[in-house]
Amino acid sequence: MTGTALAIRDDQTAFDDGQRAALAVLGVDNASQHELAVFLHACQNYQLDPFSKQIYFIKRDGRWTLQTGIDGFRVIRDRVARRDGVTVGYMPACWYDADGCSHAVWVAPGPPTAAGFTVLKDGQPFSAIVYYSETVQRTREGEVNRTWATRPAGQLAKCAEAAALRMAFPHDLSGLYIAEEVHDDAAAAAPVAQNGRVTAQDITGEQEAPAKPVMSASAADRGRLTRALKHFSLDDDDARIVCEWLGGVPFIPTTTQARQVAGTLADYLTAADGDVEQARSDMWAQYRKMHPQESAE
């Protein structure tokens, strides 16, 4: 949090007048009291500063959505490393061309096919690969938006770093996405995605109509996820645990989250050289490490 008069205190229950005025300058100028309460809780929960642009509240199609920038992920990364006493390092990012060849620097005129990023947590690698075709953001007319058109390699690298950090720190980052990862379908399906999935009702106590899970992921992405879960021989209960851990929700409502869970399972399988039993063992070992309270029960 900032050290200025705008700093958010842990004991705050609402934004003060100065903070609301600053939020209005940042574009949060017509959110309801309940929506602002949800945003304040998210800022406190993640300990991210909206006035330093570490976390955002953005309105899409009439609904407020929570997202952060890569700097917000890095702030959480450093804080968790200090808390848990672990070391964190990075391997250099790489980009892939259409033939699958990797490049340390992307200098081709067109966009890369994919980008890879590896986070080292106490020396253990957590690697993620994201694909341009699955991640690029487009306008409603179907054109690549201006930012992605002018710097596709940089945008893709941010997404790969965020995905790798979620793998390394799933307990603290699961369900949180950077702006470069958020598509309109994901935003519409998850108006506020955060640890604990807090809603306005949780904070205000007022009853709201129950929301139904929205399966906005494509049939292809749902099929890919189903095959990944089946390949790991996960029953329904275990599948829900894995989806909540890796995707942030017990059901998978968005394309981004479906791809995240399926992709992470594929990464475990790749790391185990295709040995499913070893991949399952590694996955549950990581889960138990991130949820020690459950292992003790």
Does residue 65 sit in the same domain as residue 182?
yes
- Statement: the pTM of the whole predicted model exceeds 0.75: no
| 131-168 pLDDT per residue, tens | 999 899 988 888 999 999 999 999 999 999 999 999 99
Percentage of the chain lying above the pLDDT 70 cut:
74
Instruction: Give me the mean pLDDT over the 75-90 stretch.
Output: 94
State residue 148's pLDDT score: 94
State residue 197's pLDDT score: 39
Position 120: which residue type?
A: L
Domain range for 256: 213-297
**Does residue 199 sit within a domain?**
yes
**Does residue 101 sit within a domain?**
yes
Instruction: Give me the mean pLDDT over the 15-21 stretch.
Output: 90
108 or 226, higher pLDDT: 108
State residue 3's pLDDT score: 53
Does residue 106 sit in the same domain as residue 52?
no
**Does residue 77 sit within a domain?**
no
Does residue 57 sit in the same domain as residue 183?
yes
Does residue 52 sit in the same domain as residue 189?
yes
Spatial neighbors of 270 by CB under 8 A, at least 6 apart, are none
Does residue 273 sit in the same domain as residue 140?
no
* Domains identified in the chain, total number: 3
H/E segment holding residue 186: helix 184-189
Instruction: Give me the mean pLDDT over the 172-179 stretch.
Output: 82
Does residue 188 sit in the same domain as residue 148?
no
Residue 101, pLDDT > 70, answer yes
Does residue 197 sit in the same domain as residue 230?
no
Does residue 53 sit in the same domain as residue 182?
yes
248: left (phi over 0), alpha (psi -120 to 50) or beta: left
Does residue 156 sit in the same domain as residue 200?
no
